[in-house]
Structure 1
């Protein structure tokens, strides 16, 4: 059978293929033993800490430094990360509100047994104008529970529930425990509980997509075995690697690893299966078909996998500890999945042969023209002339640019309580607190002052508190003089008078983009406010979740250029090395950038309408950008690699017509599997996962349906042989060794159907 391919891989690729086929049973046995031994290693989840974002910040972060100083001076932070909420929309009685204060004083006097970890309690009611800026009056009471920062999230949440149990009865209108600490603990439980469902649904989607694409029962099982082995190894070896290298891994990591691993490995299984099917239609010899498919596919898969690893490795250049923790795990996941794919898949294919496609088994046959398909007609219409191809390029670019426009309004936030589902108890208690007070009542911002005899400057401290209340975005301030002296001493002022704290409650959810902008404004205005209040000799700093989030967002924005340049350089370098072409590499990368921008723009638009002012979770755009650029290079290498192989002996236009229809089909199948893997992250009922799921789903679909299917063939047609600069492509069709009927593009496709 005539084929457009000049060879089935280079000399090294053919040797590698021959070795794998010869040792096929040994390779399968090796991976079986390794997979069976992997459960004895620690899992990734066991290697993680509490998942606290503050643990992923440098110790010299201004907000962290101020909070630690506050702990040194007062013995505990005044951050309000854990709170107990009481609420009666019809009004709390005077006795209920008084009991709230009495319970807090009992903690101060150490009269609450079993609550040794609780360092203090700060009661707050919205009755009698006690808190300015409250939305209601007399309906809600809040008790901030103050802990030593070394107490874990789970321990703080348990202690808060014990406090509520011993302090309030069934008639005390107790709503629940809330705050950023209980929210983080709840997030961890939700992720842990959702992961099995994500894994099951993702595997089911992959089986369905691969089975439908190859009309086979065995092909999806082969994909399941390969991804299963890779998953076992990755989860356990990643945990071992994390312990050996000692890097912290955020709790958000494991679902992303699962999606990345299952999607990438499935892609490579699809590429090998399509190559084997094409070879089985050329020869009846099972082992020869496996050798040829492995020799031709392995170099492309290997370079594509390295491109994905290099792209995700761009996170390592970030200054943010969060991204530097995420980078090694993603790189390790891709490399391990690649290793399994390029060894286990060829070994299993050489054993199965045509049975991999059962009940439809490919058989060798004489080449014959095939009916022209819709895909071939569309491709021919787009590329029959440079004018038609140019219009296609212009149309695709215009659509992608319009979709990317909302990026101009993208804001970043850090989602804790707001990311929880509406029926979660922590979220419901937060909604109750916000309804009675203000949106930022949870996780207020602390202003720490240090100076001489501050306890004797209550008038000046009052003026500062009132000035802070006048700032845009501030709902209210607790300051020395706004509470009884007995509650203030040791909480708002130190006993020696050398330090004071003011609690600033914002008019927006404390970790949203709007609140972060407000804290940035307060930070810049604070020196002038101190001077106007007569406290110019005092030093001041901001602490709390919003101040920490502001630093994270600022650092993340600063990482944008570094990550972008590293990711672009890594992907461009891999394309240039593989294609030996600068021009093609440049416009291929540009296509990936366009689909990435469109995906981020559409995600910004959707979540901007769903939750105005919250912004995208800070890590979502950057993790999505790195992954989408890496996958774009993956598909670029597979698509253009096959075209390049044919174009070395045939004119480029003919190579596009021969190879692209089948190659696009393989990329569509692989892309759908990858999109399903990441899209199903939305099963985790947390906002950041749904944002990342939408970014990845839209980005991958735009990449395979618009960029690879339409823009890429059109660009190859418009630019022509100059795409290969500084190399050269194009020539005369090779003479067939024997006369025979013409070969249709569907028959000769590198990727099969």
Structure 2
């Protein structure tokens, strides 16, 4: 390639050359078009999330646990589960008067004496007084008032009603800690995401600016990158919102930080490669327009292929059964496609307009700068020469593969959960209220599980129901069971026996946090043992179903795991297909995809080790490993094409190791700049103070760095060196390697050529 010196034999095809000429000639029209399109989208199209959707609304109503809850409501006319609770607590003990008032307050609401507090249908106080509630840790320290609404009340309305309930009926002496539960936590998560977005955007922009400014020693280059990325972000958010409303597909608000980070990183990647191309041309004395044309022709095909591959990889999530994944996939694919289209048109146009100004800095000493950059590249060439030697490459392959497999080892005990309350910061009021409730009772008190038994006349089988209740209380992971066998519950309330006698239900409180991996595992085991428990209790002719947050989470996790196969196959095939089409080979694409899989395994292993083993978390958030895997596979394809593409074209006229040694110094440096920017963009997701975003930030940033600095810079070139011309099978586009001594190429032998400074003609 030209950037490697006169030894490069690359020539653009007529189509790429024509495209470059058209874009450069129409540069002002291109800029005006994107400016008008961006302004129109902001003015006339809705933004992502404008419809109020959030990730938590994407749980399918076909979920068996949700269906169980709906049937329970129909049969009993009253929900047994509440996801909103008011916590009162005094570690020294609550006065009897406070506890009595809690009972009276709840009864008044249930009897309809406070119609202004609708949509609350009823309230039920749960106390740890004298061990009346099984499994309580303390005595007379905590009261949890559960608030019940109809199933069709929105999450935000439930939280608003709970806050109104507290403001109207509680005083300063009632020791109210706060409102908590899975519903308030879900609402707060959405608020935290949106409130963190401005800080995230600002920090990401500043970081990207500094990285590119340092890499190119210019203040204009990062401004160009941010203008292009900002255009892509605005277009994506508004086009995505319009498509979502048009098709009726909800786009979760929680995806917006990920979209911003993805677009800033991906578009910056593309800009970096165009900037590298024009910088090399300016160093050789090319003029403004020829330099822009050359860079456009050189990198457009690579960027288009990389963008299509990344979009296909993220879009592969559409094959999932999980509504959450189906919502993530199209949004991510649309973001990559918009970013790619904007980059391959707007960047060349701006470079043609700006010329050398795009790389302007306060230092105008062009010749020393060029010499320094050439010396740096020559030094990198020596490393590339060593990496592509037949005797050294196998050692590099073994070392890299061994290290990646060792990093992936913790994956053997990865666990998945669905966290709402526990995902909040420890300082958040809803989290603090939940912690206080768990201290007085058990960890699973706020999100119990409902077990409903259905069958003709089952409500009258008191002895059998009592036997089942005792058996349930002995199950591992179950702290307490409340049901038909509890004499302390007034029978007139009809909480556990349906009026028509065809159903009975129990309330199960788990020992672990209700949405963590351990609780999900408990429900999985209980689900498997239920038929035997029913048979042993004399209820073999009935059927049982589980409802509640943990049961819903159990179905979600199972669905996620079952989605893994089809998502992995679709994403791998998409990446493999584009690599095969681009390289016109099979062996090399398969080898490169295997390298990507190793990088993903190492990333997820390190993430599991940090968050489960070191930090002691109760499993990773269910969607994090799969979103990370798909994104890393898609983004890794970019670096596959950026790194191997130039070498592959160069290898058509020379041995593959020599081609790699010539092209790697330039492509590897550009990949490292782009990858570092992308890793920082994803790493700044940690500014969203929610545990899933912390997991995403770590996994994506570490994964990008592993992919760029280990897999693409070391493993992939060494592996292709080992494979040699066989990597082009079944085609024969690569010439056979001659049996000649492996001398160091002239690129690293000869001193760098110092180009004569020229005055660039505008």
TM exceeding 0.5: yes
Q: Residue 54 of structure 2 contacts residue 251 of structure 2 at CA under 8 Å; is this kept in 1? A: no
Alignment map for 1:101-120 (pairs within 5 Å) = 101-120=103-122
Residue 436 (str. 1) matches residue 440 (str. 2)? yes
Partner residue, 1:393? 397
Residue 88 (str. 1) matches residue 90 (str. 2)? yes
Partner residue, 2:709? 705
Alignment map for 1:36-75 (pairs within 5 Å) = 36-40=39-43, 41-53=45-57, 55-57=58-60, 59-75=61-77
Partner residue, 2:127? 125
Residue aligned with 1:563, SS:
helix
Alignment map for 1:131-530 (pairs within 5 Å) = 131-359=133-361, 370=375, 374-383=379-388, 385-482=389-486, 484-486=488-490, 489-530=493-534
Query: How far apart in 2 are the matches of 1:747 and 1:615?
Result: 57
Query: How far apart in 2 are the matches of 1:563 and 1:382?
Result: 34
Residue 31 (str. 1) matches residue 41 (str. 2)? no
Q: Residue 725 of structure 2 contacts residue 736 of structure 2 at CA under 8 Å; is this kept in 1? A: no
Q: Residue 322 of structure 2 contacts residue 560 of structure 2 at CA under 8 Å; is this kept in 1? A: yes
Residue aligned with 1:387, SS:
coil
User: Bigger CA drift: 671-680 or 86-95?
Assistant: 86-95
Deviations 1:551-604 (A, max 9, x none): 000010001111111111111111111011211111111111111100000000
Change (3 A) 1:279 1:123: same
Residue 588 (str. 1) matches residue 592 (str. 2)? yes
Query: How far apart in 1 are the matches of 2:258 and 2:245?
Result: 19
Change (3 A) 1:487 1:431: farther
User: Bigger CA drift: 503-512 or 655-664?
Assistant: 655-664
May I ask how many residue pairs the two structures share in their alignment?
A: 739
Q: CA deviation at 1:178?
A: 0.6
Q: CA deviation at 1:80?
A: 2.3
Query: How far apart in 2 are the matches of 1:335 and 1:372?
Result: 32
Q: CA deviation at 1:113?
A: 3.3
Change (3 A) 1:372 1:511: closer
Residue 565 (str. 1) matches residue 542 (str. 2)? no
Residue aligned with 2:391, SS:
helix
Residue aligned with 1:44, SS:
coil
Residue aligned with 1:145, SS:
strand
Q: Residue 76 of structure 1 contacts residue 149 of structure 1 at CA under 8 Å; is this kept in 2? A: no
Query: How far apart in 1 are the matches of 2:109 and 2:516?
Result: 32
Q: CA deviation at 1:610?
A: 5.0
Q: CA deviation at 1:102?
A: 1.5
Root-mean-square deviation over aligned CA pairs: 2.4
Deviations 1:198-249 (A, max 9, x none): 1111111111111111000100000010011111111111100100111122
Partner residue, 1:727? 732
Residue aligned with 2:144, SS:
strand
Query: How far apart in 2 are the matches of 1:466 and 1:419?
Result: 33
Deviations 1:472-524 (A, max 9, x none): 00010111243645476243333444332211010000001110010111112
Q: CA deviation at 1:645?
A: 1.9
The answer for unaligned runs of 5 or more in structure 1 is 734-739, 749-753
Change (3 A) 1:653 1:437: same
Partner residue, 2:742? none
Query: How far apart in 1 are the matches of 2:459 and 2:327?
Result: 44
Query: How far apart in 1 are the matches of 2:79 and 2:754?
Result: 70
Q: CA deviation at 1:135?
A: 1.5
User: Bigger CA drift: 390-399 or 41-50?
Assistant: 41-50
Partner residue, 2:758? none
User: Bigger CA drift: 371-380 or 717-726?
Assistant: 371-380
TM, length-normalised to structure 1: 0.94
Query: How far apart in 2 are the matches of 1:637 and 1:381?
Result: 22
Query: How far apart in 2 are the matches of 1:174 and 1:390?
Result: 66
Q: CA deviation at 1:650?
A: 2.2
Change (3 A) 1:167 1:619: same
Q: Residue 658 of structure 1 contacts residue 744 of structure 1 at CA under 8 Å; is this kept in 2? A: no
User: Bigger CA drift: 488-497 or 170-179?
Assistant: 488-497
Change (3 A) 1:321 1:315: same
User: Bigger CA drift: 486-495 or 678-687?
Assistant: 486-495
Q: Residue 659 of structure 1 contacts residue 745 of structure 1 at CA under 8 Å; is this kept in 2? A: no
Change (3 A) 1:744 1:520: farther
Deviations 1:152-183 (A, max 9, x none): 11110111112222332111111111110000
The answer for unaligned runs of 5 or more in structure 2 is 739-746, 756-762
Q: Residue 4 of structure 1 contacts residue 646 of structure 1 at CA under 8 Å; is this kept in 2? A: no
Which of 548, 554, 557 lines up with 1:553 in the alignment? 557
Query: How far apart in 2 are the matches of 1:730 and 1:713?
Result: 17
Residue aligned with 2:249, SS:
coil
User: Bigger CA drift: 508-517 or 713-722?
Assistant: 713-722
Q: Residue 647 of structure 1 contacts residue 731 of structure 1 at CA under 8 Å; is this kept in 2? A: no
User: Bigger CA drift: 686-695 or 648-657?
Assistant: 648-657
Partner residue, 2:680? 676
Change (3 A) 1:589 1:619: same
Q: Residue 446 of structure 1 contacts residue 504 of structure 1 at CA under 8 Å; is this kept in 2? A: yes
Residue aligned with 2:496, SS:
coil
Change (3 A) 1:532 1:102: farther
Deviations 1:701-745 (A, max 9, x none): 111111111112211222222222223224899xxxxxx999778
Change (3 A) 1:103 1:538: farther
TM, length-normalised to structure 2: 0.93
Partner residue, 1:736? none
Residue 604 (str. 1) matches residue 608 (str. 2)? yes
